[in-house]
Amino acid sequence: MINHEDLKQRIEIYSITTFGSGFNELDDSEKYVALSKALMETVLPIWNESIEKTKDKKKAYYFSSEYLLGRFLDNNLISLRVKDEVDRILNDLGISYSEIEESEQDPALGNGGLGRLAACFLDSAASLGYPLDGYGIRYDFGLFKQKFINGEQVEVADNWTKYGDPWGIRKVKETVYVNFDHTIIKAVPYDYPIIGYDKKLINTLRLWKAESLDEFDFKAFNDQNYDLAVKAKNDAENIAKVLYPNDSYEEGKKLRLKQEYFFVSASLQDLLRKFKKSNRDLHEFYKYHSIQLNDTHPAVAIPELIRLLLGEGLTFEEAFEIAQKTFGYTNHTLMAEALEQWPIKYYEELLPNIIDIINRINAKLITEIKSMGIKDEDIYKYEIIHNGNIKMAWLAIYGSKSVNGVAKLHTDLLINKELNDWYKLYPKKFNNKTNGITQRRWLLQANPELSSLITRLLNSDSWITDLSKLKELEKFADDKNVLEEFMNVKQKRKEKLAQYIKEVEGIEISKDSIFDVQVKRIHEYKRQLLNAFHILDLYFRLKENPMLDIYPRTFIFGGKAAPGYFRAKGIIKYINDIANLVNNDDTINGKIKVVFVQDYRVSYAEKIMPSADISEQISTAGKEASGTGNMKLMLNGAPTIGTYDGANIEIVEEAGEENNFIFGLRVEEIQNLAPNYDPKQIYETNSRLKRVVDTLVDGTFTDTTGAYKDIYNSLIYGTNWERPDVYFVLADFQSYCDMQQKVDIAYKDRLGFAKKAWLNIANSGKFSSDRTITEYAKEIWQIERI
């Protein structure tokens, strides 16, 4: 409970002291800051109590380059269970809570599934009472805000803290110093509360801001050399300016490496400093700390911890043993380009002390595997330093106690193919932890109407912290009244999304059409291009036969392409060109519409997920490690149209293939087909396919960038470094179109489709990040619930 008069008074004080005006005189963004600062006074005592409760316990720490948190306010109010109270207080003041909520900027601290998974894990740990803190970087501008100009992605700065950062506490006294060769950078921590549901526990996300030791060179300024006066400040702050700086050129690559080392060094120094205050033996460090490396980005933490322990007087063997018992490594991809490798020369230039330690780790590894019977001619398969590069995945595997994949198929492929050599040496290290999502944000917060229906049907809200309870909903799968009520809930969410898209994107869509959703990072393996080809095929068929019997459908895309990813940006423009063609052709009677939402982010996803009818998960089989968007859509009642890939396999196992739409080549079929695959033959013999692919080069669309010709060539002829149609878009085209026709037929049976959607909800319990985090806690970290 909150003291209403006390909160009103606090809100007014923060309004005046922060903005110089009373609360009612502020704009919505300023009101958000004042309200959040006032609420932090409620959070702080509980937070401090949590820190005290966990200080002598073994804790886990998540090291991640990104955290895609989403907005703080609504989520924190729900976790504190005071949202209705705060809404009433604001009503008393004549203020709209929803307008304040909508004014909050999404924190620009992450990009895709990697960062969203990290955020879900923090939420689950706090809600279940597991002591798990996060470490990362406090980016000034994050990835970027995405705009479309003439259909092309344009990146603009995302100044997410321009109105303030009310949930972050700057801890200047806990500043540490990170040493690059000849340069020392200050790492200043900002702490954010991760509030467990019903205040179970408040854990901490500590993000580091990069600052210069010398912010201003007065002499240079006095000499009228103004750029030089602030050069050191700018150079230091560049480290935390943006997430994943463009690394097309060498300077960008070096900046990425600086980012990775900056945050892991600061984090490890922080942990060691706190541990030394306990006066415990450093040899026991691993007994109180378990650190999870979220992909290879923080893998440099392994040699850095060893370096720090050597500085405390431990031997190399002692330090390595402690590190190996401390770290766990999560592999998120089978994509070769995502398994980081760094040229030795970068380490020699920027981190000479670290390259010395990596050399020692590599030497130790070679000695060890030779003693295990590995022949000299096979040593190269395992070398951490090979052909002038440092293989970060190899460093992470050898330097960790645990290596996990993130879905059953993904882990099987790691064990049996991609990392099979390592698995044969260290089979006990390898394990699977299928990803999950937090139902607090993705159902309770994002879809309150469906949440209320579920709670009423179950006569309990226990599903909020135990998603397996949804299994009990299966008994309503043939209840016409329940299905009708569910469809009404879905319809209301569709109406809200349609209104939002009209306001924000300027496109009017039919709330009565099928909402067919593909929202995720733009990458060739995710095959947004396959979706685009199907839309064009449908459009051309409608042009030939305007009376074609199809259910009206709205195709909704969302996602960003990396600034340096030329082909992915070309795919975005291509989809926008298709949208322009389709949406402005009156002859097809509005039967299909295409929307590519701008600046897809968590707050946009919270509107899209509950309104989706179909979940597009159409990656090339064997390429998507897991996926979590598929889980969010499933939880909100959208059957999957997808390949047998990633977590799709487990979704189908749980909800039934009859309640989803699976198409395309499977992993083993791709492996058999790949050596002799000839996409040109498919292209030339399938007239429908040829017609849509040709739009890339036949003048249907205008492209001055050369991207469409590049996409066309990549599909038909390949490039100097890759074979044609690497991701089997052409091979899966017909199967995909045939399955989309089955979706159309199934949707026309209104109750039948509602049953499919309902059974997906009822069987989504496995995909809670609560289950995932419990497995990590018990099987890797060995931490106890508080």
Residues involved in catalysis: 332, 520-521, 526, 628, 632
Dist. CA 635–CA 284, nearest whole Å: 42
Candidates 576, 558, 550; CA nearest to 519 is: 558
Q: Residue 196 in contact with residue 202, Cβ under 8 Å?
A: yes
Tell me the sheet residues that pair with 153: 148
Q: Give residue for tokens 């063609």.
A: 581
DSSP state of 196: P
**Tokens linked to 184:** 């020392």
Candidates 600, 602, 598, 644; CA nearest to 739 is: 644
Measuring CA to CA, how many Å separate 573 from each of 80, 581, 618? 43, 12, 20
3-state SS of 221-269?
HHCCCHHHHCHHHHHHHHHHCCCCCCCCCHHHHHHHHHHHHHHHHHHHH
Q: Give residue for tokens 């949804």.
A: 470
3-class DSSP assignment, residue 623? coil
Geometric angle at alpha carbon 771, from 766 and 776, rounded to 5°:
135
CB atoms within 10 A of CB 93: 12
Candidates 560, 525, 590; CA nearest to 732 is: 525
Tell me the sheet residues that pair with 768: 437
Geometric angle at alpha carbon 622, from 519 and 292, rounded to 5°:
75
DSSP conformation letters of 660-673: SEE-S--HHHHHHH
Beta-sheet strand order (sheet of 553-558): 592-597, 553-558, 514-519, 614-617, 640-642, 661-662
Q: Residue 433 in contact with residue 457, Cβ under 8 Å?
A: no
Residue 125: which residues within 8 A CB-CB, separation 6 or more? Answer: 60, 131, 132, 194, 196, 201, 203, 773, 777
Find the length of the chain: 786
Cα-Cα-Cα-Cα dihedral sign, residues 88, 89, 93, 98: negative
**Tokens linked to 6:** 């006390």
Q: Residue 150 in contact with residue 707, Cβ under 8 Å?
A: no
Tell me the sheet residues that pair with 390: 342, 385
3-class DSSP assignment, residue 480? helix
In degrees and rounded to multiples of 5, residue 553 shows phi and psi of -140, 140
